[in-house]
Amino acid sequence: MTYPIVARASQITLGGGGDISERDGKNLVSSSHLCVAADGGARHLVKAGKCPDHIIGDLDSLGKRDVQACPKTALHSISEQDSTDFEKCLYSTEADLYRAFGFLGRRIDHQMAVLSALCRYPSKRVLVIGDHDVMTLLPPKISLDIDAGTRVSLFPMGPCHVRSQGLEWPTDGIDFDPVARIGTSNRATGPVTLSAKQPNMIILLPRDQEKVLETSLLQSNSWASDV
């Protein structure tokens, strides 16, 4: 198979195996952006009324009915088992922004694998969207135009340092580590600026801050290359 499968797109919608809410389903159906399903995630997209343009993965969760429901969808079987279907979607496509639905909730192990993948592919701008939260890998620097009192959670996936302005509990000088020091449930005092030294920090905001985080992510420089 020749990579990347998708050489360049301004935005890719990724569909995972978790449930997609009725609200998000309606947004997906009306979206004109390229849509990619991670293996069995196609089933949830079809249920929402959206046939993906591509289905990528080892295809072990894809049934005949799923394929028959979308005859124009391109299937891409990647048999290697060293990565998840979410990762396969990331490394076999190129886009300025990924908006990922169906990857939070339901299967905690899958959700944790998504967090790991965000750090494994730091040059990808990936916005992971759930019913209650939206999250992404913290870029080298990001400015967020959010209101005072907005929850800002920081969760390290490895040792890292983050400088901050506009947080109730500043993060400067803290040695973040997933087993020693995390940063959940911080709060904004107004607009927030965060600067990270390592591509190991996940930022989580309430779902109603989705557009703010998306805009700020697109305006920020991504990490130079994947690790």
Structure token digits, residue 39: 């293996």
DSSP 119-141: HHSTTS-EEEE-SSEEEEE--SE
Query: Amino acid identity of 194?
Result: L
Structure token digits, residue 203: 């930022």
Residues 112 and 195 in one domain: no
In a domain, 109, yes or no: yes
Residues 149 and 199 in one domain: yes
Cα separation, 50 vs 106, in Å, equals: 21
Residues 182 and 99 in one domain: no
Q: Are strands 6-15 and 162-167 parallel, antiparallel or unpaired?
A: unpaired
Tens digits of residue pLDDT in 113-133: 999 999 999 999 999 999 999
In a domain, 38, yes or no: yes
pLDDT given at position 227: 47
State which residues of the chain have pLDDT below 70: 1-3, 225-227
> Structural domain tally of the chain?
2
CB count in 10 Å sphere of residue 121: 20
CATH number reported for the structural domain that contains residue 153 in this entry: 3.40.50.10240
Is 117 in contact with 28 (CB distance < 8 Å)? Answer: no
0.85 surpassed by pTM: yes
Query: Amino acid identity of 196?
Result: A
Residues 122 and 159 in one domain: no
In a domain, 227, yes or no: no
Is 28 in contact with 129 (CB distance < 8 Å)? Answer: no
Q: What is the dihedral of CA 47, 72, 17, 124, to 10 degrees?
A: -130
3-state class percentages of the chain: helix first, strand second, coil last, to nearest 5: 25, 35, 40
The Cα-based distances of 44 to 109, 197, 207 in angstroms read 19, 37, 20
DSSP 137-177: E--SEEEE---TT-EEEEEESSSB-EEEEEESS--TT--BB
Cα separation, 188 vs 167, in Å, equals: 5
Strand ranges in 4-103 using DSSP code E only, listed in sequence order: 6-15, 34-38, 54-57, 74-77, 93-101
Domain that holds residue 83: 6-131
In a domain, 225, yes or no: no
Residue from 24, 40, 206 nearest 110 by CA: 40
